[in-house]
Structure formats: structure tokens, C-alpha cells
Amino acid sequence: MTRLSVNINKIATIRNARGANIPDVVKVALDCEVFGAEGITVHPRPDERHIRYADVYDLKKVIKTEFNIEGNPNENFVKLVLDTKPAQVTLVPDSPNVLTSNAGWDTIKNKSFLEEMVSEFKNAGIRTSIFIETDIKMIENAAKIGTDRIEFYTEPYADLYPINKEKAIEPFALAAKKAIEFGLEINAGHDLSLNNLKYFNDNISGLSEVSIGHALIADALYYGLHNTIQMYLKLLK
């Protein structure tokens, strides 16, 4: 069964809007685990507009499932990850001014940099994942770099799914098969939802984990957090 990691960035966004500690990010993360989540994901950005670096240290102390930290590996991010030693680090090439992640790595142009980062994190005992699109050459080069996993950037799938789901899934299904041939494990995330998750999971070979935040937290406003997590887990069975 594909594991569900809940991205709690949006919880921090709500908290930060008022400047106090409501909702409590740490408590929500622990509740997600109790409600069935098999991992917790955070994506701290340099301006700390949602998850703060202090949150990451606090979360590391209490999380019992897999902890996944995503982000662009600048100097501060690298220190944060090495200090907290999560189960997994996901390298994402987002610039500081973007609203949300909007592209995968060019693993050819950034080969030396990514090799250095992957090596440093793996030497610290942290599983590595590279955020990537469905270009086979980029995936093959990710394998050569030595990463344990790739994470598919799934916004193109989500955008096309309501129009033509077969066409939407085709490049991801092909890329997944190639990734497995290259010895990579596969994660996925970005705009996966109750509407499109089951079809993606059913058609992607070897999918290890999905990381879902925005849609899941939005659904929880209607269905409640416990019920929502169970709804997502049911789609992954």
C-alpha cells in the first residue's frame, strides 16, 4: 500500500495569520499520526511564511512516523536537515519568490550540486528524494547521482486529469516504469486530491509514498481531519 504523508504547511499558514499558536502545528501533526497518517511532511522556506525552522526542531522531538523535510538545499536548509535528521529529505528547486513548487530539477545541469547534497545527506543516514518531472533523461541522471528516490511533480497530471485522465497519466506511468528499471523508488506530490489520487495510485507501478497538503487540509474543513485522512488512505488501498 502506498504510504500517505500529510504536509502540514497550510496549518502553519493559518497559525501565522494571527501571530499566536492557534492552530498548534505540533498538536496537529500528532493528531494526523493518530488519525492514520504514515508520515508528516514540512516544506520550510527561507522567509518562514508557513513552517518555521523552529517548528521543524519541535516536530522532530515528537513525530513517531516518517518525517519528511522538503526544500531547496541552501546553507540554512542543509544545516536544519543535518541537525534534525529526518527519515527523508526531498530536494526541491524552488526559488524564494515562488508561491509554491512549480518545477522539478534539471538533474543534468545540476548534477554536481545534487551529487554533493545527496552524498552529504545519505552519509548522515537520511533517505534522499529528488523532486522531478517525467523526462526520462532527468530520471536516469537522478539514478546516476545516487538518490534513493524521486518524487514526481504531479501538477501537470492534476491539471489534465479532468479533461483526459488517460493522457494525463501516460507520461507518469512510463516514467515510473523507467525509474524502477534504474533502481529508484517513487514518491509523488503536488495537487493530488480526493478526485484524482486513486487513478494515479492505481496506474503508477511501485509508488511508495504520496505527500499531500493543500487539498487534504482544504477537505478537512468540510469533512474533519480524522475523516479526511481516512478517506485518502482508503484511496491508496
Catalytic residue annotation = 43, 70, 190
Cα 19 to Cα 39, 149, 216: the distances in Å are 27, 36, 23
Reduced to 3 states (helix: H, G, I; strand: E, B; else coil), residue 119 is: helix
Identify whether the C-beta of residue 25 lies closer than 8 Å to the C-beta of residue 53: no
Return the amino acid letter for 180: I
H helices of 19-73, in order, are 25-34, 53-62
In this structure, are residues 3 and 46 in contact, taking their beta carbons and an 8 Å threshold? no
- At 134, is the secondary structure helix, strand, or coil? coil
Q: How many CB atoms lie within 10 A of CB 200?
A: 26
Exposure on the CB side of residue 220, measured as CA atoms within 13 A: 20
Q: Which residue has the cell 517513487?
A: 186
